[in-house]
Amino acid sequence: NILDRKAGATALAAKVAGLDREGRDKVAARIADVAKVAPGGVVLQIGDLVGLSAAATVRSALDASLDVSALRAHVLSLTTVELGQLLDGPTRAKLAELKLSPAVVAPHVAAMSWPVPNSQPIVQWYLEATPVELVAHTMMRVGSDTARALSKAMNALGKDAWRWAFAVTEAMVGSSPTTGLNLEFTPKFEEVTAALAARTPKHGPGSQKGAAPGGAGALKALVPAGSIDIAALTQAITDAATFEKHEVRALASSPYRERLIAAATPAQLAVLLDYMGVSDAHQLDWFLDSTTMTLDDVLTVSSSWTASSVSLAFKNPKLVAKLSARFPKAGPGDVFGVNRTAVCELAQSSPAVRAWCAVTAQPQELLQVITFAVPTIAKMWNLLIADGLDPRWVERLGAGSSQDTRLRSLVLNCPDPAAAAWVRTHLIGDKIEAAHAGNKPLEIGPMAYEGSATKRFEDGLTNPEVSTAEIGRRTSELSPAELVKLRENPEQLATVLSVLHDEWLPRVLALVEPPLIAVLRTADLRAGIAAYIRTRPSSETTAAFRDEAVASRVRRNVRDPFTLLPALREPGVLAIVGKDPDTLQWLLDRTDAPFAISQLGHPEVAKAIAPSLTKAHVERIPAMMTLSANQRAALERIASYVKNLDIAESLRERLEIEGRDADEERTPVPKPEGGIAIAKDAQHKQDELEAALEHADLAGALDVVLTKPPTRANVLAVCRERASMAPQLLSNPEHGARVDRLRQVLDQSPVAVFPTVPWFAFLRTVEARRWLFEHEPPTVILAELAHEPELAHFVLAKLTENDPAVRTWIEALPKGTALTAAERRQVRQLFDSVTNDVAARRLFEIRFGSKVTSKTYTHDELARLWTLFERVPDAHIEQGSVTQLAETPAPSLPGQFGGGNMMFVEGLTRDDKDNHQYSGNLQLTRAQLTTAYGYDDAQLEARIATEEIKKVETPDGTRYEIQKKIVKLLDFTVLHEIGHAVDQMLGEQSELVYGLAGWRRYNESDVGQLAKDLGGWDRVTPADQQRIQDVWVSWMNMRTWDSLDTLIGDDHPALSKKYKGVGIVDLGRSKEAPMAGEAPPINGHHVVANHKNQQFYRVPDRTRNAAPSPYSLTAPQEYFAECYAEYYYSFTGPGTEDKKGGRLPGWIKGWFDQNIDTLKHNPARDRK
């Protein structure tokens, strides 16, 4: 209602803070409406609350009624990256329209505080929106690192970014607190370089004494009661050879002070006072005496001050009082911008500053004042409340990421429970995992290790959890010998053929080669089986039709007898099959009459079928046809064998006048009067066919028979009679619509429709390709292309055009382990022959089942990955564990994996960088080394000799260091990510990690159990136990990885000395964040925390000492992946099996030997 302006906007932010996640998302979607009804400060707060990006929040606030103070406080809390993302062209234009310069809304930018100079968008904004004189003045104050960073940004922005160089005066250089122009400025423009070189000071200010021209008092003469030439005065002041120091100091007294304040602009006055040697703190006193000086003017000047200058100014209570009187509503950020931190520090000890903050500070500033020092949070809260601060000020806070640590420390130390609860609930909003972590290793089913594909296949047939597609995959993985056994097992064969559909049925048929009768009895007869039937011997067609159940099923489901079952064209087969009256009727119903007569009229066939002919059969033959001489002879031959004179006469009536050829003028034969509907339908079809065949060309004939509704038999007849013209039709794009219509009407492979047409004709147009690739088994096409390099090159080149037909074929091909050995060779053959990267990416997908989603991968890069992928067992990648392969510009790590998606940093596959495993600095005692690695004396000496281990003498005795192992970054990273895929395949709870290695994980709800496992927990009082758990849960949810003392003081139970010896307290007191096993061991275990997973882990000392890298100790998943990569890194193929395991200790290598290297099957595939 508020956003629709049906209600007032009072307490809008508080209402938003009370919403759940779904409600906040809805508000986020309507932030533009929020800006119409709420002031800018409220918009900023709401943007934080609903999780909008910093850029989106500020942009929305700029559209609201302006609240400069709140905007400034918000901008100051942004990171450099967030501010840079905000400052696009439209936003900079909006800021300029509102007259919001960097000095006003981002003082840290105006001061060029680090790391601002590293952000080109911020530097661009600063240069565009700041007076060039002030830019020059600021540039005289920057350090070397800043000068170098600014030079890089300004060179990228162009010559105009260096305009300030031409505004630098000798006076500016001479009075610079950094002793002149910084030589680290390196413009790439000659004119700029020359301008800066010309600004070399001749004198140091005040370094000499001399007589003033015109005598004493000449400098005062430059400050008359009337107008003052500020530029001339500034230049004169810097000339120490002309004016003595006391002359300059005299200008700070009355009446010269008042005259200067009145005559100079704020920027001029700031520069002038610098040259006069007036300290920053005293400069503020001058500014406050100016009646024209605005708050923004003060901020513009103070933005370049140091924190010590601000501290010095505020140590003067009179100056604080003067500031409060002049600008009663101005807070720390309004006056000092980036240096508000100095104000926060002063507030700890100065009652005047604290009282000023209580009245004027923005919520973000109050948060900084109160949490400036963790031990004094409660004290500062109480003092500010006593100064008049409303405790509900927290409700005006946002939840920006930069405030996360301060908000948490406030909650944990605030003496006001209500305020703490409000912040915890509405601003922090941690989602605490209530479930307890499981640590029991998951069992891996026996099928995962089953070497027999037959057993996996049989398990699939009986296991209801296995999908039909998985049954197809398992069938395709059978060996040739196992396929023979399946073919000879009628029961299993029938089960397989009955459940498979779509792409898997043709695939399995080609592999198993079952007898045709088995296919026709149980398989889906609409699932693209024509290609397989073409390969079967004629005798199998005969055998199938001798089984009445099979014959009946075929008659019900097959629409094109002579096309789907080409053996029927053989007289010997047709003579046997056609004896059955039902089959004979099916042939006549589903075939154009002239062709049916020519086939049935063969002497052997005519003699065989004549006894079965009935009047019902004859009625399916049109009463009037144009027949060729051969067809008339065939019909006469059938009639001659028929003993029933009525039927024979009816057949002869369908003959045209004797002697007239089919291509002569037709003489119609009268249609039988009173014919039944079947006869009329047959005659209609025949008339249509003859009308079509009057066209000499295939295209014209098709235009007749493809009208709605088309008769399949006539369409096939036209294709058969005009087959010689098919290559031209299929290859010409002008006929694309006709070809596409053929595909839709016939719904079967064009190879079956045009068996004599060469393959190249089917590939020339997109419509013909689509027809072929949709209906011909994809592996048949693969084999054809592998044997025809020119054809393959033509087809694969179409992938660069995103050809839908070729894409359909690629997607239909079996992938990974579903490919036979021959098919793998064919895919590699095509991969090696292609030159375009698009085809290479798709062929990689076929080989490994991993879709390459990044367009940046090249053929050569994929060839490197191909070799690495083939290094590991097939089941590790090719059975659905790695479904996508991508490249990303800048991840935090060289590789990432999750949900089947494997991702590498851009350029990794092109580089040949080295990396190292093992820390190289972990010193172990002999006992620790034995426990971790199990080396006996001989094994240890051998490793010392190869420099794998270094023996060192320390003050504590002999120690052993596992030396760094240099590895190729690409190889190790790829193997590491494959390790993640295998771990996820097995449920990420393997026996290695949670059994042998002894990892234990703890969710946030398990902190109490972690504390108990670390020991001494029973010594802690129940109240303190809860407080300790609260701290660790909050710490786990932090957005930074600081130690515990960033949240609480030493007097908190979680760090208290009185609980020394309590494991979890000792962990906090160690001052080391528990990352990657870096914290000291507690009772023989190391605690590891992972903020990303929001879990704690406890790792035995043995596991930590045997870790292949520090990174392996960041999480159980990383431990598995690093061990996996180490196991396979040195193995490069047959003959190097002894290299498996690398440096892994025997207890880890043995587990991989037995449980990972033997994996034959991905158990995740079983799930439907």
The answer as to whether 663 is a domain residue is no
Print burial letters for 1006-1040: b (CB count within 10 Å at least 16), e (below 16).
Answer: bbbbbbebbbbbeebeeebbebbbbbbbbbbbbee
* pLDDT(917) > 70: yes
Does residue 1078 share a domain with residue 959?
A: no
The answer as to whether 1095 is a domain residue is yes
Does residue 1005 share a domain with residue 935?
A: no
CA 822, CA 803: separation in Å to the nearest integer? Answer: 26
Query: What residue numbers bound the domain in which 639 lies?
Result: 570-652
Residue among 1085, 1012, 1087 at smallest CA distance from 1044: 1087
How confident is the model at residue 207, as a pLDDT?
Answer: 39
Q: What is the mean pLDDT of residues 1094-1100?
A: 92
How confident is the model at residue 287, as a pLDDT?
Answer: 86
The answer as to whether 376 is a domain residue is yes
CA 105, CA 111: separation in Å to the nearest integer? Answer: 12
* pLDDT(95) > 90: no
Does residue 824 share a domain with residue 732?
A: no
CA 1067, CA 992: separation in Å to the nearest integer? Answer: 26
* pLDDT(25) > 70: yes
How confident is the model at residue 200, as a pLDDT?
Answer: 56
* pLDDT(679) > 80: no
Q: What is the mean pLDDT of residues 327-352?
A: 77
* pLDDT(669) > 60: no
How confident is the model at residue 484, as a pLDDT?
Answer: 94
Does residue 871 share a domain with residue 789?
A: yes
Mapping DSSP to helix (H, G, I), strand (E, B) and coil, where does residue 387 land?
coil
Print burial letters for 13-24: b (CB count within 10 Å at least 16), e (below 16).
Answer: bbebbeeeeeeb
Given the structure tokens 């001339």, which residue do they identify?
A: 232
Q: Convert the pLDDT of each residue in 503-541 to its tens digit.
A: 789 889 989 999 999 999 999 987 678 889 989 999 999
Q: Give Cβ neighbours of residue 207 (< 8 Å, ≥ 6 apart).
A: 240
Label residue 337 left, alpha or beta by phi (over 0 means left) and psi (-120 to 50 means alpha): left
- Provide the 8-state DSSP code for 291: S
Does residue 72 share a domain with residue 171?
A: yes
Residue among 638, 539, 533, 535 at smallest CA distance from 584: 638
CA 769, CA 70: separation in Å to the nearest integer? Answer: 64
Does residue 990 share a domain with residue 954?
A: no
**Percentage, residues of the chain above pLDDT 70:** 91
The answer as to whether 346 is a domain residue is yes
The answer as to whether 52 is a domain residue is yes
Does residue 778 share a domain with residue 750?
A: no
Q: Which residues pair with residue 950 across a beta bridge?
A: 961
Banded pLDDT at 86 (limits 50, 70, 90): confident
Q: What is the mean pLDDT of residues 781-794?
A: 90
Does residue 1106 share a domain with residue 1117?
A: yes
Q: Convert the pLDDT of each residue in 104-121 to its tens digit.
A: 788 777 777 778 888 899
How confident is the model at residue 766, as a pLDDT?
Answer: 92
Angle 408-414-416 from CA coordinates, rounded to 5°: 130
Residue 1135 CB: number of other CB atoms within 10 A? 8
Q: Which of 963, 980, 995 is the last residue of a domain?
A: 963
More confident site: 458 or 668: 458
Q: How many structural domains are present in the chain?
A: 7
0.85 cut: is pTM over it? Answer: no
Mapping DSSP to helix (H, G, I), strand (E, B) and coil, where does residue 717 land?
helix
CA 970, CA 895: separation in Å to the nearest integer? Answer: 9
Does residue 977 share a domain with residue 958?
A: no
The answer as to whether 530 is a domain residue is no
How confident is the model at residue 221, as a pLDDT?
Answer: 82
The answer as to whether 285 is a domain residue is yes
Q: Convert the pLDDT of each residue in 838-890 to its tens digit.
A: 999 999 999 999 999 999 999 999 999 999 999 999 999 988 899 999 998 86
Q: Which residues pair with residue 887 across a beta bridge?
A: 904
Q: Convert the pLDDT of each residue in 171-186 to its tens digit.
A: 666 555 544 566 678 8
Q: Give Cβ neighbours of residue 382 (< 8 Å, ≥ 6 apart).
A: 415
Residue among 662, 121, 249, 714 at smallest CA distance from 702: 714
Q: Which of 890, 907, 932 is the last residue of a domain?
A: 890
Q: What are phi and psi of 253, to 5 degrees?
A: -100, 165
Mapping DSSP to helix (H, G, I), strand (E, B) and coil, where does residue 383 land?
helix
How confident is the model at residue 303, as a pLDDT?
Answer: 67
How confident is the model at residue 571, as a pLDDT?
Answer: 96
How confident is the model at residue 239, as a pLDDT?
Answer: 60
Does residue 138 share a domain with residue 72?
A: yes
* pLDDT(206) > 70: no
Q: Convert the pLDDT of each residue in 552-585 to its tens digit.
A: 999 999 999 999 999 999 999 999 999 999 999 9
Q: Convert the pLDDT of each residue in 1137-1156 to its tens digit.
A: 999 999 999 999 999 999 99
Q: What is the mean pLDDT of the chain?
A: 86
More confident site: 922 or 578: 578
The answer as to whether 1047 is a domain residue is yes
Does residue 612 share a domain with residue 691?
A: no
Does residue 371 share a domain with residue 308?
A: yes
Q: Which of 197, 222, 250 is the last residue of a domain?
A: 197
Residue among 354, 355, 338 at smallest CA distance from 346: 354
